[in-house]
């Protein structure tokens, strides 16, 4: 098991800005001193997640997800806490794998090997053996700058990547596992133009190799799926497109990497592509957090149309604004830009249509719109589509459009629409807020823990006066906070989260408390009240026990004695009971 000291973890956290990291995954907007965005941990439609640059933590006030930069990356990427520390450590320039403070038998050199392979292929392209390939690329109007920008390289039969990596002391088995070497110990990619594929964080994790001067049954060969390269999760060019979104909150989705590369040659950098698969739910979760606007720009053929419809289906309920580009003559974006140029393509982007408009166009296919019966069928199916729209104005405009286009009275269309809506009234699903309710004791405990993390005064008060918290997790958490404070002299919540990350239970308890949205400031009197409530808890518990004993007791003398004890706990002096 990996062990990384707290000092190293805190150092990485100090060198990492949570706002910067989270905004790689989620679109953030500044609001006051915090940043807000759509929460990736529940089906969020309005921004519920707040990221605090000051505290370096994030909190979702709808589902209660909260934590520091490590837990965010761990939860988002579905990796362990330690893996998240390693990932961010590499980015912060702290190489934990080489640190003697790390004892990790299963050191993973996947990224390291891919970095080397990536450089190896890139260098090969500009050797004398790469002349044909460079010519091929230049003929296809891929300039040297573009080659550099996308890290395009070349695999050459005469120069073996496997030999090169084995010389660097990587085992054939490892190279085979990660998809660079085949079962015969030879390179997987031979004589292909190599396109590196990066994961969402920008690490090279696979290659796509394209033939360029031979005939081959497969134009493209991709690295086999590995634990780090899953086609259903990867979006080509994500890490670069993300950087270009700040100015332009729109992401353009295309079918192939060549489309994305081509678009960048005319200065459009906010494009991504799937790896030859349809969009998946994993893609959807990334996309809904990436931008507020998505433009689908798939190939102009029937397959592209099918892909567009299924992407719309998948993205429709994310709340993202979707528009669709329809390229003419079965062209893909690569071909279209090559043939028609930058301005024509930008015009296509500007002309992108809404989902309703797109579907209404698609519905016209295979219909004879000179025939009254076909027109009626068309209008009925168009109304069904329009009924999915939430914006009344969009609905009305589209109904009017149908009326004008087919020369039917607007009232007639409107009535048809209203009838359809009444028959198919959709019950709106209210987002269920998961808010835990606590009794007054637990509330006092939660508040005390929260302020202990903020103030050494509260911490001292609790240490001196609350010997024992009633709830076990709170008790353990309090002990950890006190221990941490005495050890480091200060408590930083973001670092404390790392510190207790070894225990899911403690981390869970702390997360619940952080997500309660407890107010920042407190008065000492409030703290006194909470401590009083906790002491009341023990009194009540003791009194309950004694009352039970008294009821079971037969001897009146003993009963009286117990009653005396109860009175004493209640704060009533024995002398007073005589009155
Ligand atoms: Zn949430």
Last residue of one domain, picked from the residues 400, 423, 446: 423
The rounded distance, in Å, linking the Cα atoms of 228 and 269 is 25
Return the pLDDT at 389. 82
Between the CA of 434 and the centroid of ligand 1 the distance, in Å, is 10
Between the CA of 288 and the centroid of ligand 1 the distance, in Å, is 13
Between the CA of 263 and the centroid of ligand 1 the distance, in Å, is 35
Between the CA of 249 and the centroid of ligand 1 the distance, in Å, is 22
pLDDT for 351 beyond 80: yes
The rounded distance, in Å, linking the Cα atoms of 338 and 418 is 47
Return the pLDDT at 574. 47
**Mean pLDDT across 35-60:** 90
* Exposure on the CB side of residue 204, measured as CA atoms within 13 A: 24
pLDDT for 497 beyond 80: yes
Q: What residues flank ion ligand 1 with Cβ within 5 A?
A: 39, 41-42, 60, 62-63, 65
Strand partners, 220: 210
Q: The domain containing residue 401 runs over which residues?
A: 361-423
pLDDT for 196 beyond 90: yes
Between the CA of 271 and the centroid of ligand 1 the distance, in Å, is 27
Between the CA of 73 and the centroid of ligand 1 the distance, in Å, is 14
Between the CA of 59 and the centroid of ligand 1 the distance, in Å, is 8
CATH number at residue 123: 3.90.980.10
Between the CA of 412 and the centroid of ligand 1 the distance, in Å, is 44
Task: Sheet with 293-296: list strands edge to edge.
Answer: 271-273, 250-254, 293-296, 321-324, 353-354
Between the CA of 41 and the centroid of ligand 1 the distance, in Å, is 5
Return the pLDDT at 97. 60
Between the CA of 64 and the centroid of ligand 1 the distance, in Å, is 6
Do 133 and 151 reside in the same domain of the chain? yes
Residue of 432 and 51 predicted with greater confidence: 51
Phi-psi region of 422 (alpha: psi -120 to 50; beta: other; left: phi over 0): alpha
Do 308 and 337 reside in the same domain of the chain? yes
Per residue in 425-480, pLDDT (tens digit) is 644 333 334 455 678 888 999 999 999 999 999 999 999 988 788 888 999 999 99
Average pLDDT, the chain: 87
Residue 250's H or E segment, with its range, is strand 250-254
Return the pLDDT at 91. 85
Confidence label for 342 from pLDDT (cuts 50, 70 and 90) = very high
The answer to whether residue 430 sits within a structural domain is no
**Mean pLDDT across 170-174:** 93
Return the pLDDT at 154. 96
Return the pLDDT at 105. 38
Return the pLDDT at 3. 65
Confidence label for 540 from pLDDT (cuts 50, 70 and 90) = confident
**Mean pLDDT across 394-403:** 92
Between the CA of 429 and the centroid of ligand 1 the distance, in Å, is 17
Between the CA of 498 and the centroid of ligand 1 the distance, in Å, is 20
Between the CA of 28 and the centroid of ligand 1 the distance, in Å, is 14
**Mean pLDDT across 239-249:** 80
Residue 273's H or E segment, with its range, is strand 271-273
Residue whose pair of structure tokens reads 């005589």 in the numeric block: 578
pLDDT for 283 beyond 80: yes
Confidence label for 205 from pLDDT (cuts 50, 70 and 90) = very high
The answer to whether residue 233 sits within a structural domain is no
pLDDT for 523 beyond 70: yes
Between the CA of 15 and the centroid of ligand 1 the distance, in Å, is 26
Per residue in 287-318, pLDDT (tens digit) is 887 888 999 999 988 889 999 999 998 898 78
Return the pLDDT at 219. 84
The rounded distance, in Å, linking the Cα atoms of 422 and 441 is 50
Return the pLDDT at 578. 42
pLDDT for 49 beyond 80: yes
**Mean pLDDT across 278-286:** 86
Return the pLDDT at 2. 52
Between the CA of 54 and the centroid of ligand 1 the distance, in Å, is 20
Last residue of one domain, picked from the residues 166, 196, 222: 222
Between the CA of 82 and the centroid of ligand 1 the distance, in Å, is 23
Between the CA of 25 and the centroid of ligand 1 the distance, in Å, is 14
Do 281 and 345 reside in the same domain of the chain? yes
Do 519 and 448 reside in the same domain of the chain? yes
pLDDT for 245 beyond 60: yes
Between the CA of 39 and the centroid of ligand 1 the distance, in Å, is 5
Last residue of one domain, picked from the residues 52, 74, 98: 98
Do 286 and 380 reside in the same domain of the chain? no
Return the pLDDT at 248. 61
Between the CA of 522 and the centroid of ligand 1 the distance, in Å, is 27
Do 558 and 470 reside in the same domain of the chain? yes
CATH number at residue 17: 3.90.580.10
The answer to whether residue 356 sits within a structural domain is no
Between the CA of 50 and the centroid of ligand 1 the distance, in Å, is 10
Q: Are 27 and 289 in contact (CB under 8 A)?
A: yes
Return the pLDDT at 102. 40
The answer to whether residue 432 sits within a structural domain is no
Do 77 and 142 reside in the same domain of the chain? no
**Mean pLDDT across 417-432:** 65
The answer to whether residue 521 sits within a structural domain is yes
Residue whose pair of structure tokens reads 């496997």 in the numeric block: 162
Do 448 and 387 reside in the same domain of the chain? no
Residue 497's H or E segment, with its range, is helix 493-499
Do 470 and 549 reside in the same domain of the chain? yes
Lowest average pLDDT, out of 183-187, 332-336, 519-523, 571-575, goes to 571-575
Do 341 and 455 reside in the same domain of the chain? no
Residues with Cβ within 8 Å of residue 372, at least 6 apart in sequence: none
Return the pLDDT at 101. 41
pLDDT for 352 beyond 80: yes
Give the count of domains, the chain: 5
The answer to whether residue 229 sits within a structural domain is no
Do 332 and 467 reside in the same domain of the chain? no
Return the pLDDT at 429. 38
**What does the block give as tokens for 309?**
């419809």
Return the pLDDT at 396. 93
Strand partners, 198: 204
The answer to whether residue 228 sits within a structural domain is no
Do 340 and 365 reside in the same domain of the chain? no
Between the CA of 447 and the centroid of ligand 1 the distance, in Å, is 22
Return the pLDDT at 344. 96
Between the CA of 63 and the centroid of ligand 1 the distance, in Å, is 4
Q: Global pTM?
A: 0.61
The answer to whether residue 431 sits within a structural domain is no
Return the pLDDT at 445. 94
CATH number at residue 304: 3.40.1360.10
Per residue in 120-130, pLDDT (tens digit) is 999 999 999 99
């Amino acid at each position: 098991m990996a062990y990384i000291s707290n000092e190293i973890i805190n150092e990485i956290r100090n060198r990492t800005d949570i706002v910067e990291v989270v905004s790689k995954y989620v679109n953030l907007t500044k609001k006051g001193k915090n940043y807000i965005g759509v929460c990736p941990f529940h089906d969020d439609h309005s921004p519920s997640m707040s990221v605090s640059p000051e505290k370096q933590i994030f909190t979702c006030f709808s589902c209660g997800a909260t934590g520091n930069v490590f837990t965010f990356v761990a939860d988002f990427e579905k990796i362990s806490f330690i893996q998240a520390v390693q990932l961010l450590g590499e980015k912060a320039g702290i190489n934990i794998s080489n640190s003697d403070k790390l004892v990790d038998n299963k050191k993973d050199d996947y990224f390291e090997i891919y970095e080397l392979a990536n450089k190896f292929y890139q260098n090969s392209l500009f050797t004398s053996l790469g002349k044909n390939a460079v010519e091929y690329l230049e003929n296809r109007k891929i300039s040297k700058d573009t080659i550099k920008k996308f890290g395009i390289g070349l695999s050459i039969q005469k120069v073996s990547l496997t030999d090169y990596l084995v010389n660097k002391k990587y085992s054939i088995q490892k190279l085979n596992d990660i998809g660079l070497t085949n079962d015969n110990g030879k390179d997987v990619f031979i004589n292909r133009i190599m396109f590196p594929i990066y994961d969402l964080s920008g690490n090279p994790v696979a290659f796509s190799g394209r033939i360029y001067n031979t005939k081959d049954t497969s134009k493209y060969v991709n690295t086999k799926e590995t634990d780090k390269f899953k086609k259903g999760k990867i979006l080509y060019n994500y890490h670069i497109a993300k950087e270009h979104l700040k100015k332009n909150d729109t992401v353009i989705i295309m079918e192939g990497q060549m489309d994305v590369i081509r678009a960048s040659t005319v200065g459009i950098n906010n494009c991504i592509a799937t790896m030859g698969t349809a969009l998946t739910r994993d893609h959807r979760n990334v996309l809904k957090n990436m931008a507020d606007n998505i433009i689908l720009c798939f190939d102009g053929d029937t397959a592209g149309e099918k892909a567009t419809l299924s992407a719309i289906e998948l993205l429709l309920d994310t709340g993202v604004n979707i528009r669709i580009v329809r390229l003419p003559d079965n062209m893909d974006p690569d071909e279209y830009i090559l043939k028609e140029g930058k301005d024509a393509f930008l015009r296509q982007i500007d002309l992108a249509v809404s989902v309703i408009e797109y579907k209404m166009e698609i519905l016209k296919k295979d219909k004879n719109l000179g025939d009254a019966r076909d027109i009626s069928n068309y209008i009925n199916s168009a109304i069904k589509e329009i009924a999915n729209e939430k914006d009344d104005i969009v609905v009305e405009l589209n109904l009017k459009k149908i009326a004008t286009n087919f020369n039917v009275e607007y009232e007639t269309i409107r009535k048809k629409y209203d009838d359809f809506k009444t028959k198919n009234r959709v019950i709106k699903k209210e987002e269920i807020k998961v808010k835990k309710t606590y009794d007054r004791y637990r509330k006092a405990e939660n508040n005390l823990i929260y302020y202990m993390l903020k103030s050494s005064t509260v911490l001292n008060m609790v240490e001196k006066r609350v010997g024992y918290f009633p709830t076990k997790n709170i008790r353990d958490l309090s002990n950890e906070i006190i221990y941490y404070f005495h050890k480091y002299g200060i408590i930083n919540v973001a670092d404390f989260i790392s510190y207790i990350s070894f225990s899911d239970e403690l981390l869970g308890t702390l997360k619940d408390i952080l997500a309660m949205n407890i107010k920042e400031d407190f008065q000492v009197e409030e703290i006194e009240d909470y401590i009083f409530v906790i002491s009341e808890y023990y009194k009540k518990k003791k009194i309950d026990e004694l009352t039970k004993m008294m009821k079971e007791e037969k001897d009146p003398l003993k009963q009286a004695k117990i009653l005396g004890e109860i009175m004493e706990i209640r704060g009533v002096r024995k002398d007073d009971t005589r009155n």
